[in-house]
Amino acid sequence: MPYSPPSRRTVTYQLGPGPMTPAVKLLLWANIGMFVLSWLAPEIVPLLGLQPAAVILRLRLWQPVTYMFLHAGVTHILFNMLALWMFGVELERRWGRDFFLKYYFIAGIGAAATTILLSLVPGELGAAMWGSLTVGASGAIYGLLVAYAIYFPHRPVYIWALFPIPARVFVLIMGAVAFMSSIGGDQGGVANSAHLGGLVVGYLYLKMGGGHPLAAIKYRYVRWRMNRLRQRFGVHDGGRHDWDRRVH
């Protein structure tokens, strides 16, 4: 039978992770809608943005949620929504819509809680945070970054669209930058502490079994029991049958 080379029309190209998933699309439109609303009615920003003094003294308990949907400018929302699409789509495909939304809000609220707790610490940083106004989805986005690094550690992330580095290295760099920036006593430290809080809370949440501490404890107990049985019966690790490599 004569050989026929493949048609060029069968070759497809894809930019980024592909089409948006339902939760990512919902979050993106919600953020854009709130950005437009805050531009038309800027007086809602102090009401919906995160201010530790207002949360504690005025009991504005909605702020740790609503602050995630406000942004300080076009560049701010552009980069956050780009990161939401780039990293969130694959995570939602892997987790499903419900768990993705749950994780997104836990990381974002965790970032807000970090800001509020640090505002109570005596010193220059605490004083700056107490009356500061924080807006943006960056805390939740940092949570997505650490989740992406856990599930896709070797996936290349392009810096300035030119230099590929593994996702896990990218997140380590971003975490280090957020940490170094957060120890400064300026307004940048306020924002970066929220970034760091979202990253840490997201990491701990996933490592605790997706919000189920008993599941994490049970997993570690079963793994311990299997290791004991392997030692007892002289079973050696190896290949595809290694317990630690099969259980995630």
**Active-site entry in 38, 119, 132, 138:** 138
Q: Is residue 138 flagged as an active site residue? A: yes
Total residues found in the chain within this entry: 248
Q: Is residue 195 flagged as an active site residue? A: yes
**Active-site entry in 71, 182, 193, 195:** 195
Catalytic residues: 138, 195
